[in-house]
Amino acid sequence: MPCSQRREDPMTSLITVNEDLNQFHLTNGRVSMILKVVEGKLINLYTGAAVPDRADFGYLVDDGFRVQATTADEHGELHIEQSRQEFPEYGRGDFRGPAITVLQGNGSRITDFRYAGYRVAPGKPELEGLPATYAVSTPDDTGAETLSIDLVDDLTGLTATLNYTIFRDEPVIARSVRIANHGDEPVAIERIASLNLDLPDDDYEMVEFTGAWAREREPHRQPLHPGVQSVASMWGASSPYFSPNALFARPDTIEDRGEAFSLSFVYSGNFDLHAEVDAYGATRLQLGINPAGFAWRLAPGESFQSPEALLGYTDRGLNALSQTLHRIVLDHLERPRWARRERPILINNWEATYFDFTEEKLLELARLAHRAGIELFVLDDGWFGRGDHARTSDRAGLGDWIANPERLPEGIAGIARKINEIGMRFGLWFEPEMVNRATDLYEAHPDWVIATPGRESAVYRQQYVLNFANPAVVDHIYERMHAILDGANVAYIKWDMNRFITEAYDATRGAEHQGEVFHRYILGVYALYRRLLAAFPDLIIEGCASGGSRFDMGILAYSPQIWTSDDTDAVERLSIQYGTSYFFPVSSMGAHVSITPNHQTGRSESLAMRGSVAMFGTFGYEMDLTRVGEDELDEIARQVAFFKEHAPLLHNGDLYRLRAPYDHRQAAWMVVSADRAHAIVGDYVILGVPNRHKSRLHLRGLDADAMYRVTTAPGPGLGPDDALRGRLGYSAEDEGIGAETTGTATSAESGTDTKAAPITPGVVRSGAELMHIGINDTNIGPDFASRLYLIDRL
């Protein structure tokens, strides 16, 4: 490789190396990261907006103040405590949190990793046993490049390989670390950060996404302060409480302008994400496996691969950063087989029947669903176990994956065939990581449960966690699931996980390996995903962990959609889906129309409101269609037809957040096609306000110079009908929609007549008007009202 290589056109290298100066510049014209080796240490000179390359960025080396310990002589240029390190260590003069801590045989935790070499490779390597982003290669371009930098600790013989992948088209850098033991003695890795980023100042606000079951991922924003502020999980899963994603935004950064970084963990287990501000106002960001309870024994000749972390950047606001992350998920993380492919609209029987069902009840529900145009029938919990171990409540059956013949006389193959004969695909619920005591599995293998010897085990939902750190457990569950899937036409799996890990202990390994339990467990979960998808590549797996308790980029590598929350109340889902959208695309969010009054909140909302919220997700239903009237069934059919027509736009367009729901008054969002020709706007009233002031909804993402026709969505089930609008005392012109056209809804993609109900009158407005003047949405309706707007360029 030449001493210095510069990018001259879009297809040249994304990574420039000056070997004489040990300097590395990663840039794609949207983001730059500049690294340099100084006195053997890898230093981050700059990360942010793209800058032109130059032969020497050495002027960015900051020697700081010499008031603390340093290994350099008094004339050296590196002061370790105030240097922006890429792989800081414990105990060598930097008193901030380290990226690595290694316990050695003599009890020491001191290491000194120094530069030993680099490699640049096209594309993006896989990570052994772990989910990771990938690059799509073409004959002319690999889509990404990867820089690998080796750092060596001579005393222990440890090598740390830092991998950096920069994508050609997105301002995102993927970072991971691999530790190899080339020494003569075993060590224990007690801390390993997948990403460390030192920033020169603390003028940022941390946006973290917190919540609990049924109220997941609400953003909370606060300025950085001296010391440490963090989010973390110790539940054995990413958890509903704290998300393994965060934003670090300048104080003036808002949706459509300003600078921010994003951190995301491609991992589903315990994590630690934190910011540390030192006494000089510098900020250290770290993301990795939670070090609490973690210790990985590394024998000579062995290596350990950290999960991947993603660093995103924007200088165009938070919404642009979200759109970047959405494209990363769809084009570089999810399996290509389903990432941008439309998935079937489903109905799940859970809220319709819970555990109380017969085969005929299921078939009756399926016939009505098919009549409404629904494409996939999902049989939820309660189909398995036999005799005393039959799953008729949450007390038994979990882990015995064999159909209950009293409920399904012909087994899963029989019910799947009958659903297929109705004209629908068939899906099935599993909770493969758990077991009840009242099961054949537990009676045969009580040692397969995670439990600490001599300690009483906690129980939750009458279930225990299987030890997926034990390969024999994973093998058994795979064989049982494979037998069912291989013997029946199952198109979809709902993979649930309703209990966190307590009394963590791996009975198959000795004391020196007990710090590995949590990580080995999630590696076992990933292994089961991979084996099932290898055997059944067309299978759709929807992740579900008590709702959104494992909504993370690790699971999205295997599941193109995740059940966003067990809270199916449309008003609550406005907040949950809004917060989730900061990192995850619409097509990843499992969202269904559920029963009313809602079973989580007791709130009653119109079918229109429930439908118009769920459409901004992977659309489906959780309700008993045998209990709805003909009018409601017809309305469901209209919703299904509308979603089918517009699903490619809803799932592949660019999402714009227009109005946050957190004041409990209104909310709005929209999706715009890549060519800016079409858009759909969801506009919602949460709580009505009497004699309210005028409100205008300002759209975004349109072509300012183009002319657009604006209509409200067809059918009374998707917006207020004329009678309601009349009672509210406003005209079409009041809402900014004039009476220039009427007709039948037409597909924006194909121009074909959908035979839907007549559209409401529409008007023509310029993109500039719609974005700067907006739409008058003062009088959408009372509490829990909604309207969908269709925006089509002429």
- 8-state DSSP, 442: H
* Secondary structure in 3-state letters for 43-70: EEEEEEECCCCCCCCHHHCCCCCCCCCC
Catalytic residue status for 703? no
Q: Please give the full DSSP string across 565-598, using - where no structure is assigned.
A: -S---HHHHHHHHHHHTTTS-GGGEEEEEE-SS-
Catalytic residue status for 566? yes
CB 618 within 8 A of CB 587: yes
CB 22 within 8 A of CB 115: yes
Pairing of strands 15-18, 23-27: antiparallel
Of residues 153, 566, 567, 654, which has the active-site annotation? 566
CB 359 within 8 A of CB 409: yes
| Two tokens, residue 522 | 């999630």
Strand, helix or coil for residue 724: helix
Strand, helix or coil for residue 154: coil
- 8-state DSSP, 537: T
Nearest CA to 658 out of 556, 522, 473, 787 is that of 787
Pairing of strands 540-543, 561-563: parallel
Buried b vs exposed e over 188-223: b needs ≥16 C-beta within 10 Å? bbbbbbbbbbbbbebebbbbbbbbebbbbbbbeeee
As a whole number of angstroms, the distance between CA 472 and CA 708 comes to: 60
Peptide bond into 200 cis (omega under 30): no
How far does the chain reach from its first CA to its final CA, in angstroms? Answer: 52
Nearest CA to 162 out of 333, 332, 309 is that of 309
As a whole number of angstroms, the distance between CA 122 and CA 71 comes to: 36
Nearest CA to 180 out of 116, 137, 107, 136 is that of 116
As a whole number of angstroms, the distance between CA 790 and CA 712 comes to: 6
Of residues 198, 331, 496, 569, which has the active-site annotation? 496
CB 624 within 8 A of CB 351: yes
Give the residue numbers annotated as catalytic, written as ranges. 496, 566
